[in-house]
Structure 1
Amino acid sequence: MQQISWTFKLDQEANGRRKSRYTKWCPRSYSGVTNTISGPQNRIIGAQSALPGQFPHAAFITYASGQGTYCGASIITHRHLLTAKFCFTNLPHTIRNTKGLVLKIGGICHTHEIGVCNKVDMLKVDIDFVIFDTVIRNILHGTGDFAIIQLSNSIPKELFENKTVSIACLPEHKDEEIPDKITQAGWGMIENGLGSNILKYVNLRTWDDCYKELDPELDESKHLFCAYFKNWEGNETKVNIGGNVGDIGDGVVAYSQKRKVLVLHGVFLSFRSHIFAVQGLVSILLRIRYLLDDFCYYLDLCSHPNIIGKTSSH
Structure 2
Amino acid sequence: MKEMKSIICFTAVLGLAWSLPSYWEDNTFVSKESSEDGQGKGVKSTNCSCGWTNKGRIVGGREALVNEYPLMAGLVSAEDQLLFCGASIITTHHALTAVHCTIEYKGQKIFLAVGEHNLLSDKEKEAALYPIDRTIEHENYNDMTLANDIALVVVKRKIDFSQRIGPVCLPNKVLNLVNEHVKVLGWGLTTDGGSQSSVLMKVNLKVIPTSECFKSHPIDIGSPKAKNVMCTYRDNKDSCEGDSGGPVIWLDPETNRFTLVGLVSHGRMCAGDSPAINVNVGFFLPWIQEKIASTGFKEKTCAKTNKK
Query: What TM-score, normalized by structure 2, do the two folds share?
Result: 0.69
Aligned counterparts of 2:42 and 2:286: Cα–Cα separation in 1: 17
Alignment of 1:208-247 (within 5 A): 208-209=209-210, 210-217=212-219, 218-220=221-223, 221-229=226-234, 237-238=235-236, 241-244=237-240, 247=243
Question: CA 1:30/1:136 → structure 2, altered by over 3 Å: closer, same or farther?
Answer: closer
Aligned counterparts of 2:172 and 2:72: Cα–Cα separation in 1: 20
Aligned counterparts of 2:251 and 2:54: Cα–Cα separation in 1: 7
Question: CA 1:61/1:302 → structure 2, altered by over 3 Å: closer, same or farther?
Answer: closer
- Give the CA deviation at 1:52: 1.8
Aligned counterparts of 1:34 and 1:153: Cα–Cα separation in 2: 20
| Alignment partner, residue 82 of structure 1 | 96
Contact 2:244 2:264 in 1 (8 A): yes
Question: CA 1:165/1:136 → structure 2, altered by over 3 Å: closer, same or farther?
Answer: closer
- The question of 1:298 aligning with 2:291 is answered yes
Aligned counterparts of 2:167 and 2:46: Cα–Cα separation in 1: 19
Identity %: 22
Q: May I ask how many residue pairs the two structures share in their alignment?
A: 249
Aligned counterparts of 2:44 and 2:241: Cα–Cα separation in 1: 39
| Alignment partner, residue 114 of structure 2 | 105
- Give the CA deviation at 1:28: 10
* 2:268 counterpart SS class: strand
Pick aligned residue for 2:64 from 31, 50, 59? 50
Aligned counterparts of 1:87 and 1:29: Cα–Cα separation in 2: 37
- Give the CA deviation at 1:132: 1.5
Residue 104 of structure 1 aligns to which amino acid in structure 2? A
Which structure 2 segments of 5+ residues have no match? 1-40, 294-299, 304-308
* 2:275 counterpart SS class: strand
Which structure carries more relative contact order (alpha carbon 8 Å, separation 6+)?
A: 2
Contact 1:71 1:87 in 2 (8 A): yes
Contact 2:99 2:141 in 1 (8 A): no
* 2:262 counterpart SS class: strand
Aligned counterparts of 2:258 and 2:57: Cα–Cα separation in 1: 15
Residue 289 of structure 1 aligns to which amino acid in structure 2? G
Which structure 1 segments of 5+ residues have no match? 1-26, 113-117, 230-236, 305-314
Residue 286 of structure 1 aligns to which amino acid in structure 2? V
Query: What TM-score, normalized by structure 1, do the two folds share?
Result: 0.68
